[in-house]
Amino acid sequence: MESAFFPNKVKQSFNYLIPLIFGGIGVLAFAPFSLKFLIIPSYSYLICSLLLDAKDSYKRTLVMWTIGHWGIGVSWIIVSVYYYGNIGYIASSIVYMLFLILILLFAVAPIRLFKIKKEYPLNLHSALYISSVFILLELSRDFYFGGFPWLVPGTVGIDTILSIAFPLIGVAGVSFVIYLLSAVIAMSWNNNRKISYVFLTLSFLILIPSNPHTEEAGETTLKISLVQPSLDPQLKFNRGYKTEIEGALLTLTNKIQNESDLIIWPEVELPYSYNSKQFKELKNKINPSTELITGIWLFEENKLYNSLISIKSDEIYKKRHLVPFGEYIPFKSILNPLLNYFGAPISDISPGTSNQEPISINNDIKAAPLICYDIVFANDVRKAVKSSDFIINISNDSWFGGSLGPYQHLEIARIRAIENNRWIARSTNDGFTAFINNKGTIVSLMPKYQQGSLTNEISLIKSSTIYSEYGYYVTYLFSIIYIFITLSLYLWSKLRN
């Protein structure tokens, strides 16, 4: 009896372990690992288990794949909440688990609603249907909880032949290709394994690292310096630490102000607000002719904004997209009592509006300002860039610690550069501060935890891409129409029978 019991236990363990592993290997396709091909077997397994498998084991697959993929891929949430809230690992872990439950309910579980029936043929039509379902669920992540378009499969197309598609169809279009390849492999695995092997080989070949881009030079250039102070954010609001923060920023700035057209400080590095006496005193210490942009808190009409300001012109940009569980709490009425119980700080930051203007540099140059999480939203970046010559991205990735977060964040920024054919000047607190050219190549980069500055000349480019003109609408419109036609034909056949 014991010998029969233990093999069953081992089998049950494998039934839980396999979806966990397949979810986890998908994370290895993203930075910093960049084993890009692994995104294909990860999603092929998910598609096979949720849409094609008639067994009741799909619930187990849902939970375990989500834990493996999202649990590992966004594990930086624990680090971020722990440092940001200073509430201990137990409370941070609870917030993290709540987030995974929300992802499971809204991003993964709905896939099962579109399950393919047994009698439906497994062909290219089915593969396109599955890809359309996945792409619409990917789009939905732009909206719920304020948006969380992280771990987008199309991201793995960076540094491969697929990256030539970014200026044409954006990251969503590349995601569609990933889903399509995964669906074909999943459908043919049990019926015609030779086809699976062919498409696995094809997937491997198109996801081999390569750089198919050639840099496009702009008509004019701008010399920019990025400051990385690399200071401990936990000490920012200590009374005595203010002098050290100002000293580090001003010392680094004074060294470079005569050689740069523009200097950029990172996101909310200063321990006081735009409205404060301390900020006015700081402005008096800066050469009035210096073009300097910094992140700063702004109080306006009883609201707090995470903002970016031009010291010279006083132009202000307010961060549009707030980080879930960091800068705002989804389902406040439900979760606030729980977070209060653990002593977690409840953020009360307000988002900026969607119709903000570019920042002017030297009067005639326009920069699209983006703060931290803003750069993750492809369609909003596309709209902001239309009337701009380059992108300014300030961030405070120090809350990520040494997790996967900063690597993934930088990778996403590189894709925005390719999609919109614009240089990005990216200033962070403690890495990765970088200049990214209009083809997504990192021209210069300052490692994490290093204090200093980067200076580089960037090209100011006016030309747009097909994606920056039309966005992801073609991909999503195709998917909506395809799902509608597929479901209509299925219902029609049911009614006829």
Q: How confident is the model at residue 168, as a pLDDT?
A: 96
- Whether 481 and 450 map to the same domain: the answer is no
Weakly modelled stretches of the chain, pLDDT under 70: 1-11, 52-56, 84-87, 116-122, 213-218, 234-237, 239-240, 331-336, 338-347
* 176 three-state secondary structure: helix
Range of the domain at 383: 220-318+356-464
- Domain membership of residue 480 (yes or no) is yes
- Is 388 found in the same domain as 280? yes
8 A C-beta contact, residue 466 and residue 168: yes
In a domain, 10, yes or no: yes
Kindly state whether residues 208 and 227 are assigned to the same domain: no
Measured CA to CA, the distance from residue 434 to residue 212 in angstroms comes to 21
Q: Is residue 177 part of a domain?
A: yes
348 found inside a domain: no
Give yes or no: residues 189 and 270 share one domain: no
The pLDDT of residue 5 is 47
Taking CA atoms, 218 is separated from 360, 386, 435, 447, 469, in Å, by 18, 16, 15, 28, 19
Burial of 166 (0-12, 13-18, 19+ CB in 10 A): buried
Rg of the chain's alpha carbons, rounded to an integer? 24
Q: Which residues contact 201 (CB under 8 A, 6 or more apart)?
A: none
| Burial class, 494, CB count within 10 angstroms (exposed 0-12 / middle 13-18 / buried 19+) | exposed
Whether 47 and 153 map to the same domain: the answer is yes
Residues 102 and 235 in one domain: no
* Model pLDDT for residues 142-187, shown as the tens digit of each residue: 887 788 999 999 999 999 999 999 999 999 999 999 999 999 999 8
Tell me, yes or no, whether 179 and 200 share the same domain: yes
Which pLDDT value is given to residue 279? 92
**Residue 81 shares a structural domain with residue 160:** yes
User: Within this chain, do residues 265 and 288 fall inside the same structural domain, yes or no?
Assistant: yes
Q: Any idea what the Cα angle at residue 496 is, between residues 494 and 497, rounded to 5°?
A: 65
* CB-based contact 454:435 (threshold 8 Å): yes
Contact status, residue 435 vs residue 207, Cβ threshold 8 Å: no
Burial class of 333 by CB neighbour count within 10 A (0 to 12, 13 to 18, 19+): exposed
Residues 90 and 158 in one domain: yes
> 307, 316 in Cβ contact below 8 A?
yes
Whole-number pLDDT of residue 2: 46
Q: Are residues 129 and 35 in the same domain?
A: yes
Into how many domains does the chain fold?
2
Terminal Cα distance for the chain, rounded? 51
In a domain, 343, yes or no: no
Asked whether residue 410 falls in the same domain as residue 483, the answer is no
Within a domain: 21? yes
Does residue 152 sit within a domain?
Answer: yes
* Nearest residue to 320 (alpha-carbon basis) of 383, 258, 410: 383
Q: Is residue 325 part of a domain?
A: no
Q: Which residue carries 């396999």 as its tokens? A: 18
Closest by CA to 446, choosing from 421, 429, 422, 423, is 429
Amino acid 486: pLDDT: 87
Domain with 363 in it: what CATH number? 3.60.110.10
pTM across the whole model? 0.92
